[in-house]
Chains A and B, each alone.
Chain A
Amino acid sequence: MNEKVLISIQGLSKKFSKDIKYNMYYGIKDLLYDGLMLQNTQKEVLRKREFWALKDINFDLREGEILGVVGTNGSGKTTLMRLIAGIYPLEIGSIKGVANLKVTAIFALRSGMQFLFTGRENIYIKGSMYGMSKEALDAKMDFIESFSELGDKLDRPYGNYSSGMRARLAYSIAVATEPDVFIIDEALAVGDSLFKAKCLEHLKQYVQQKGKAVIFISNNIRKVMKVASRVAVLDKGQLIHQSEDVPAALDYYIRNCLKHLGEEQLKDQLQKIKEYDM
């Protein structure tokens, strides 16, 4: 555990509103506070109809590791990643990183891709969205072509691609940005087994390089087991467990999900999960 810390997260919390009207109301209120540069005293407390999407999260991301983040649907995984990626504003807690750290996060592979443009044109579109210049993308073109294995299909309209082909292309573009920290949020849920295997293998090699790390968000226990070097478990916005003992952490995660069940049912469920997902 003495690898260099790339990202350090301390006391991170985030709240959202449960109700659409209150969502708008607080939106206007916060906007006025920001616009008039006033101190917002209600920043750290829950207002009416709000809840903690994330509460007091602390963890470090170190060089060379693949951190698997697991949690049931709605446990705050994506919110956490959006905060790290800088999409949501940081209000409570801190996210620190080494200087000039480049973070690439992929949430939805499809977003930003243009259906009427060819695969190759979409490489420019999506690549430039990650902040790459034309020269940088041209230099990476061969890599993207070979990594995605799309061949001459790259010159067909993206709209005619199958979902697997779309995933291949989008994932290859994201890889080509060569970030220091690569955040993959359920992005490998699509694509065929061959491609998935290749990606996971690539991730393992990727983090061998100096100053690189990956955060891998998935609900697929088997994949996390295969690829992660450490696992963090989120439950209702709280980080309830983190460990380098991956199988034990995943076991903890599953048991936590099923803790409301009796001993008998628990065994039954575990059996089912083993059968279908491991």
Chain B
Amino acid sequence: MEQPEEQISPLMDLHPSGRVGFVRRWRMLFQNIRTYRFFIRQLVRINILTEFKRSFIGLSWLFIVPILAVLVWILLNGAGIVEPGDTAIPYPAYVLLSTSIWGFFADIYKSSSTLFSNNGRIMIMTHFPREVLIVEKVIVHLIRFSVPFAINLIVLLYFGVKLSWVALLFPIALIPLLLVGLGLGLIGALLKIVAVDLSNLMDEGIRLLMFITPIVYAPKIQLGWLSDIVHLNPMTYLVGFCRDVLTQGTFYEARNYLICSLVALVFFLFVMRIFKASESRILERLINI
């Protein structure tokens, strides 16, 4: 078949799939996010509103649940629960804060690790850049974290914790935790489709990780071998630094924290590279449920 003369515009690959360099990959990523920002807004809206759509008090639920949790802690404190280890602030406040910082990490892991398994259907029916789902997960996560956290802060003040100006650094100090949680979550999301055994192991691993991180006990607690593990665990520094910045205005193990943060950043960039290289390959392995 001969080509007609009027065909001037040359044909190019409809879906370029060649490997791209670091700078180009991230530039394309941000471009896609910009183009689809209205979609991201819709996704966040759906995520936050769906569970409250049929409720009469609606978004108030976002506040009620954490307030109840706080009440439980105040009651336990009043009953005189034991003082494990030497914590600088009242024990209930310490645990409250530690668990919510841990939650900041664990929740983003949990929500991003279901990226493919929960959104598989729309991903296979409509073509849109998948990174918008990551951005949605992060935004929803930040909203869901900050509401209970604000309530926790009020409790801290009630327990007489004085905040210094260093506390303003707290949101920035959280970033490495977000990167680690998101990075692990995205790997988990890929594995959930092709390697269920590994992803189950990973979920359990994250749960165990909490016990070797000083969350419900103080970092100084002496427990022999456990202390050694705690010191080797990077999460100790990532969580501890955030907590101390907020409650005491000090920098807990700043050097270790910075090293861990740097590793977290490199790890996240590496995961994004794997994610971009394999996202559509995962979709063809998806068995629609």
A interface residues, Cβ below 8 angstroms from B: 1-5, 7-8, 16, 20, 23-24, 26-28, 30-31, 34-35, 37, 82, 84-90, 94-99, 101, 103, 105, 107-108, 111-112, 114, 116-117, 124-125, 128-134, 137
Contacts and interface: CB of A to CB of B under 8 A. Distances in A.
Which 8 residue pairs across A and B have the least CB separation, nearest first? A27-B194, A128-B39, A96-B11, A111-B125, A2-B4, A27-B285, A86-B15, A97-B14
A28 B195 contact: yes
Q: Say which size band chain B's interface belongs to.
A: 35 or more
B280 A89 contact: yes
A98 B12 CA distance: 6
B123 interface: yes
Given A34-B281, A116-B53, A128-B42, A20 B123 contact: no
Contacts of A8: 11
B124 A95 contact: no
B126 A112 contact: yes
A111 B124 CA distance: 9
B287 A20 contact: yes
B282 interface: yes
Contacts of B204: none
Given A30-B281, A31-B278, A95 B36 contact: no
A128 B274 contact: no
B14 to A, nearest CB: 4
B208 interface: no
B278 A103 contact: no
A95 B42 contact: no
Interface in B2-21: 4, 6-7, 9-15, 17, 19
B121 interface: yes
B118 interface: no
Given A28-B195, A90-B15, A95-B15, A23 B125 contact: no
A99 B16 CA distance: 12
Contacts of B283: 87-88
B50 interface: yes
A189 to B, nearest CB: 15
B38 A132 contact: yes
Pick from A20, A31, A105, A111 the residue with the most CB of B within 10 Å. Answer: A31
A114 B36 CA distance: 18
Contacts of B287: 20, 23
Contacts of B121: 111
Given A1-B4, A30-B281, A87-B280, 10 more contacts: A5-B11, A86-B127, A87-B126, A89-B281, A98-B12, A112-B122, A125-B42, A129-B39, A129-B128, A133-B37
A28 B193 CA distance: 9
A97 B12 contact: yes
Contacts of B281: 27, 30-31, 34, 89
B14 A96 contact: yes
Nearest to B124: A87
A37 B19 contact: yes
Contact of B6 (A2, A98, A117, A128): A2
B284 A89 contact: yes
Contact of B285 (A24, A97, A133): A24
A20 B42 CA distance: 34
